[in-house]
Amino acid sequence: MWFRVEPGRGVPIYIQIMDQIRRSVAGGTLAPGEQLPSVRDLALQLAINPNTISKAYQELEHEGVVYTLRGRGTFVSGQASALSESDRLKRLDESVDKLLVEAYHLGCTTGEVLGAVKKRIKDREASKEGADDGRQ
């Protein structure tokens, strides 16, 4: 799994990491029992302080999204494999709100926003179908 952080975004880095892990778990990219990168490895990959990664992992453990086995690593919890429908829809609404604010500031029309969303969905479906074909 690849993480990306944006230090100047105004959102603490540990929160950005937590959000990415939550989304990956909810979307099935990270499966229950799957091991996360070690604190040290992820800190090196992202060029950030290991304490930042440690804080993100500790918060996620407190939420029940991950669990840690001392000396073995941090793993995705089986309890965290899916969000409830209301949580999923709430997160979707939040993401749509962010998109709409950005579109407003860019001066995009409703048609441009809808067109962009439809295009991205179509592109993702096509890339997923291509990936599925490559596995067989």
pLDDT in tens, 20-46: 998 888 878 888 999 999 999 999 999
Domain boundary among 54, 80, 106: 80
Query: Is position 39 within any domain?
Result: yes
- 67 and 25 both lie in a single domain: yes
Query: Is position 1 within any domain?
Result: no
pTM of the entire structure? 0.61
- 42 and 101 both lie in a single domain: no
Q: How many domains is the chain built from?
A: 2
Of 58, 44, 42, the C-alpha closest to 2 is 42
Q: Look at the block and give the residue holding tokens 């944006």.
A: 6
- 54 and 107 both lie in a single domain: no
In the prediction, which pLDDT does 136 show?
Answer: 44
Domain boundary among 80, 101, 127: 80
Query: Is position 36 within any domain?
Result: yes
Model confidence at 48, pLDDT cuts 50, 70, 90, reads: very high
For residue 27, give both structure tokens.
Answer: 């979307």
Q: How far is CA 125 from CA 50, 87, 121, 122, 129, in A?
A: 36, 24, 6, 5, 6
- 67 and 52 both lie in a single domain: yes
Domain boundary among 57, 80, 103: 80
Domain of residue 92: give its range.
85-135
d(CA 76, CA 25): 8
- Helix residue ranges, H only, 64-109: 85-106
In the prediction, which pLDDT does 117 show?
Answer: 93
In the prediction, which pLDDT does 84 show?
Answer: 60
- 54 and 103 both lie in a single domain: no
Asked whether residue 8 carries a pLDDT value surpassing 90, the answer given is no
Name the DSSP letter for residue 35: B
d(CA 32, CA 130): 26
CATH of the domain at 53: 1.10.10.10
Asked whether residue 134 carries a pLDDT value surpassing 70, the answer given is no
H or E stretch covering 24 = helix 13-26
pLDDT tens track for 79-128: 754 556 677 778 788 889 999 999 999 999 999 999 999 998 888 788 76
d(CA 35, CA 72): 9
